Structure 1
Amino acid sequence: MLRSATHDPSVVTIEFDDGTTTRFHAIWLRDNALDPETRAPGNGQRLITIGDIPADIAISAAGVVNGDLSVTFAPENKTVTFPADWLAEHSYDRAQSIAFGRIAPGITTWERGIDAPSGEWAAVQSTRAAKRDWLAAVAEFGFAKLTGGPTEPESLLKVADLFGYVRETNYGPYFEVRTEVNPTNLAYTGLGLQAHTDNPYRDPVPTLQILYCLENSAEGGDSIVVDGFRAAEKLRDENPEGFALLAGYPARFEYKGSDGVCLRSRRPMIELSPDGELVGIRFNNRSSAPIVDVPFDKMEAYYAAYRQLGEIIDDRAMGVSFKLEPGESFIVDNTRVLHARLGYSGAGSRWLQGCYADKDGLLSTLAAMEMAQPEAAE
């Protein structure tokens, strides 16, 4: 609830019941007006363009009506009501963090020692609360397991159906990770893989990856996940100049392993938003192309930072490991969490299927569930 509102032609200042105050500009309020002529009642999409707002927009009146803000705009002589709770949620008159390489709210970074977040197949498929908790774990930690699922091929597509759609690539809607011990073909080896993000040569990169286990009778072959954001935090704290180099210059990635395919990207290994928030990691030694966008006098320092980041990622204290059983899967945020595989030997086989999906679908599904009434969400 609002206690008071004062204004001049360009700014409204409001005071909430708890005594806090905040300010809003006339142009911002007019652009975000909630009336049905400005926003479609059904979907909330804006019905006006910035050019439809008079260049000389001003506030001619402002006051508190039933605890909410009422504003009249000139020269339109248009009055709009803004709910107090909506204003509190959208306030921008506050100290904003500009810390370089900071982590976004709602994200928890981690290393070895945490329990892998997990959901159970039947519960996640049938119970909204279990599904919501599983999706929330992916959003917060960047990965989560799913246990107790079926062992039929293509079951991973049902995982993607929980929140969105498969992103088909040149590998198809899904791909096989079928390796056998004592193979007849080197493609089916049990060699270990360094922690990496997938497909850094794509732009945009697939933002989610699902790996689903159908067989795993071989010894070893554990899956490992590493929080790339925690690794970046460590580099930032230990070597801020090196962090700035990896964030400030693009690396290059390339894949041309099959006929008709030549994928290339030019993106930094550590990606920041314009205001310094950490938004992505691309790290994959197998897909790295020659780095040519770093100035000569900074190349050696760049490579030193690259090596240091790799050492942090390879540190065993960073990884969370688990062995997938048939019917188990895990999902990773491919813009953040790196995954690896231990080598294995002996008798047996290991067969996983993998696919890609997009994080916007998962976050949309989660947000819609969190906005629902508790009784409906259950």
Structure 2
Amino acid sequence: MKLSISKKSNSKILIINHNNKSIPFYSSWLYERSINNDIRDSETGQLLIEASDIENNLKIIDTILSDKKLTIKFSDNTVHNYDLLELLNEISFSQNNDQNKILWNKKNIKIKKFNFHKFNSQMLRNILINIDTHGFAYIKNIPVTKNGLQSLSDHIGPIKRTNWGEIADIKSISNAYDLTMTTRTLENHTDNPYRFPTQGYIFLHCLKNSELGGENSLVDGFNIAQIMKNKNKKDFNLLSSYKTFFRYKDKTTCLENSCSLIELDDNNNVIQVRFNNRTEVLPYDTIKNLKAYRSARKKFWNEITSKKNNLIIKQEPGDMIIIDNYRIFHGRKGYVDKNNSRYFRQGYMDRDILQSKLKLLR
């Protein structure tokens, strides 16, 4: 790694030459990111000053770069120290936060199965990386007990409590409060789009599966969004801008959210997809707008249900799939269960909890 200070630097901008690229750092930005004890607390790393109070005309007087350590003297006669690699990593995170995502379909996906009997910190790291890059992880030999999924989830963080509790039963019941609790086919969907924020990750643990039917389907929603963008940019733009509506309601709960089926960040990167035919409620709108939305939605649905995009998995007792609910559409084939013995357990985890553990392990 070659690092040097460019001769084009001036009193306002420090330019670092890094791997044949010139990266500008602005004086006030650098000042705010100083690791000096009078700028940041040494224990927490939190800022001790008000950033808006930094001088507008702050200048860089002198710079020294030695062994990836940067020292800068500013015009207020203060000297500040930096780890240059940390500054570069922060830029990389800001510009390429999703560069590690690997898009897949049925043909090119290779399922990596993790054996929980051999669990250690390195396996945990690889499980979380697989979720981050591919949107899911498949783990075998999770204890076949009622709360067996916690044997893994406890190493990551707490299961989120919802109106259904924490770890919930997934099995056919009479007077079902949700179609999940029936034997019918569940079309590909994301969970709980009627919540804000939406559930981050799904832990789906098999205690016993049905002999006939009950297979799970997984679809890479980010790949579907890219397909839509490539085939018809107009439909992609509509699905990423039009606000549809989702609702879940029972005797004790009313959850509602207005959102788009494809959500973009400020750089127009896809950061979330949604689809749930069971809980979407079309908003009142003009015929023209509804016709355009329904047409684009139909094309989106055709890609979601296309066999070439669907990975089919039949979980066995002890198998658990962790699903990125912002990215993966999942479904279930209808099943026959004469003895009503098919039994899954499911829990949710907030997005920041899993991402925090991944960042620490990386």
Question: TM-score, normalized by length of structure 2?
Answer: 0.90
Residue 330 to residue 66, structure 1, CA distance change in 2 (3 Å): closer
CA–CA distance in 2 between the matches of 1:67 and 1:189? 60
The answer to whether 1:216 aligns with 2:209 is: yes
CA displacement at 1:2 relative to structure 2:
3.9
* Residue in structure 2 matched with residue 340 of structure 1 by the alignment: 331
* Residue in structure 2 matched with residue 121 of structure 1 by the alignment: 116
* Residue in structure 2 matched with residue 197 of structure 1 by the alignment: 190
1:129-179 C-alpha deviation (Å, 9 max, x unpaired): 111111111111111111112211121233321211111100111221113
**Structure 1, 220-229 or 35-44: larger mean CA deviation:** 35-44
Q: In structure 2, which of residues 350, 358, 362 is the aligned counterpart of residue 366 of structure 1?
A: 358
Residue 57 to residue 242, structure 1, CA distance change in 2 (3 Å): same
The answer to whether 1:174 aligns with 2:167 is: yes
Aligned pairs (5 A) from 1:1-378: 2-6=3-7, 7-16=9-18, 20-65=21-66, 68-74=69-75, 76-91=76-91, 104-113=98-107, 114-124=109-119, 127-179=120-172, 189-256=182-249, 258-292=250-284, 296-345=287-336, 347-348=338-339, 349-370=341-362
* Residue in structure 2 matched with residue 100 of structure 1 by the alignment: none
Residue 353 to residue 58, structure 1, CA distance change in 2 (3 Å): same
CA displacement at 1:290 relative to structure 2:
2.0
CA displacement at 1:354 relative to structure 2:
0.9
CA–CA distance in 2 between the matches of 1:359 and 1:109? 20
Q: Which amino acid aligns with 1:283?
A: F
CA displacement at 1:346 relative to structure 2:
5.9
Contact 2:210 2:337 in 1 (8 A): no
CA–CA distance in 1 between the matches of 2:298 and 2:351? 29
CA displacement at 1:25 relative to structure 2:
0.8
User: What fraction of aligned residue pairs are identical, expressed as a percent?
Assistant: 27
CA–CA distance in 2 between the matches of 1:302 and 1:43? 48
Contact 1:2 1:68 in 2 (8 A): no
- The answer for unaligned runs of 5 or more in structure 1 is 98-102, 371-378
CA–CA distance in 2 between the matches of 1:5 and 1:78? 22
CA–CA distance in 1 between the matches of 2:255 and 2:38? 45
How many residues were matched structurally?
354
Contact 1:215 1:325 in 2 (8 A): yes
CA displacement at 1:260 relative to structure 2:
2.5
CA–CA distance in 1 between the matches of 2:57 and 2:287? 51
- The answer for unaligned runs of 5 or more in structure 2 is none
Q: Secondary structure at the match of 2:245?
A: strand
Contact 2:167 2:346 in 1 (8 A): yes
1:40-66 C-alpha deviation (Å, 9 max, x unpaired): 223322222213322332222234345
* Residue in structure 2 matched with residue 373 of structure 1 by the alignment: none
Residue 90 to residue 354, structure 1, CA distance change in 2 (3 Å): closer
Residue 5 to residue 72, structure 1, CA distance change in 2 (3 Å): farther
Q: Secondary structure at the match of 1:64?
A: strand
* Residue in structure 2 matched with residue 374 of structure 1 by the alignment: none
CA–CA distance in 2 between the matches of 1:3 and 1:211? 50
CA–CA distance in 2 between the matches of 1:211 and 1:19? 46
Contact 1:229 1:278 in 2 (8 A): yes
CA–CA distance in 1 between the matches of 2:184 and 2:144? 24
CA displacement at 1:5 relative to structure 2:
4.9
CA–CA distance in 2 between the matches of 1:85 and 1:346? 57
Q: Secondary structure at the match of 2:342?
A: strand
Residue 70 to residue 211, structure 1, CA distance change in 2 (3 Å): same
Contact 2:142 2:318 in 1 (8 A): yes
CA–CA distance in 1 between the matches of 2:337 and 2:251? 34
Question: TM-score, normalized by length of structure 1?
Answer: 0.87
Contact 2:5 2:14 in 1 (8 A): no
